[in-house]
Structure 1
Amino acid sequence: MRTLPVVDRPEKSSPGRRLPSWLKRPLPVGNENFYTESLLRDLKLETVCENARCPNRPECYSRRTATFMILGNVCTRPCGFCSVPRGETVEVEGDEPARVAEASVRLGLKHVVITSVTRDDLPDGGAEHFFQCVTAVRERTGAAVEVLTPDFLGDRAAITRVIESRPDVFNHNMETVPRLYKRVRGRAEYRRSLDLLEQIKQQAPNMVTKAGLMLGLGETIDELFDVLADLRAVRCDVLTLGQYLAPTLKHIPVARFVPPAEFDELAARARLLGFQQVVAGPFVRSSYHADEMVPH
């Protein structure tokens, strides 16, 4: 297998630069996009698709899928890559679990993904609310449930509470390599995220764990594979690799656009490390086609 170039080879870049051809695609046609958007608005639900300006939103909405974002739409952490607003948080809405479950029923979801803003202002970081949302969906549907959580500041009791809801997939993203953490992830800690994934396997060995990274932030190939080795050391099952895209001119600029063929080769090499499932590509995100990422 040929040697891959470093992921941060020098290229002039800015968030406003013209996208390469492989990051352009037609918008989906039909009314399903509007159906999903209208349903979410009627039920007063937030999605990471909308708040994080995900490039896959039109496609996912047209497939009647969405990633529910609970605990409000204001985050307590100043991450350099994310467009979710930061500031004064809102009170936890007690009826939100029921609304998430209702949306799951109306959309006919077979795989429900629930994520949240980071709520460091809450004593348990929102863990109990995650538990209630997973439970509500289970009571109304036969769908598989995937949670994509923050790190709960390493609070083991909070992480245990989410584990107790028995999600089919427990997802927590690493996002980038340790050297870039301060700039990209703000108050997050690399070891804390690994410890979270390790705790899940210690308490629920058969629970599927999943993690994702964004490429094109300035990481090198050696740094990337050091992270993948660390993920396998804590028995992470599923890996996603996608292209970082700056949501606005105020966010961290893209250092490099990674070609599709390179994503394919990275995925092939990652599988050799023992991941049960690896999905990699320019448009890949943690919850993109999440139902297809679960090991069988």
Structure 2
Amino acid sequence: MSDAAKIIAVAKAEVGTHESRSGGHWVNDSKYNRWFGKIPGYDRDGYGYPWCAVFVAWCADKAGLAKLYPKTAGCSTAVAWYKNQGRFSEYPAIGAQIFFGPGGGSHTGLVYDYDATYVYTIEGNTNTDGSAEGDGVYLKRRARRDSYVYGYGYPKFAEGIKSADPKWAAEAPKPAPKPAPAKPSAKPSVSLANVVAAAKRDPKLPQGGTTHAADVKLVEAALKAEGLLPAKYAADGSFGSLTVKAYAAWQRKLGFSGKDADGIPGKSSLEKLGAKHGFTVKA
């Protein structure tokens, strides 16, 4: 999973989370504030401060990307952090930190998508109206050209960043390499010498006797597929008299006659049987 996808997944999982209430009112004290720590001078024993920037920092920490986002409760401080690294733009980017208001100091969130008209965000300390002093984590849709949108901080993702800013095209994530085509499975191999020996010896053995069963079974299966060998004799590995008869029929099917169609496999007939039924022939 890409860095951008990691933090977006963490942030989306928080949608619906709310800050604490007291006396019938939302009081800014959230689990994100408790993670970040006290700030002297605020209510709720120092935990009742606006937490939109802290929410982004918390998501980055949980995604294992703490070094890529500023850990601060101040939006203006976060803007300066990105600008000092030369990673700030007026264009949206996937996984970027969006900033609102004069100098970007009013509110912030995370971008999870954008198009030509809108930017789609996950924001903490907002509400259904998009306030900078809300009550929870919400998915929002913001107009890209809204004057309230100040700009975007770009984290330095390992994969690069997908941005609408043409100046950042060089950092666009590279397409995933196409997987190498699967190598075809190696075909089984039949030894010509083994099946010739079996065709000469097995008919003289007691019923079902075998000489080179593994090789013969492949030939039997092919002869069965050709409709030349009954199924009950097509898997015993014995090149008995019925198999010899079936192989002779295969040779005649290929146009051989006389001694060339005596049921003893030859190189040409065996290779043609293998080519049709999925095995190779070795001497």
- Length-normalised TM-score, structure 1: 0.21
- Higher relative contact order, chain-length normalized (CA < 8 Å, sep 6+): 1
Larger Rg: 2
- Length-normalised TM-score, structure 2: 0.21
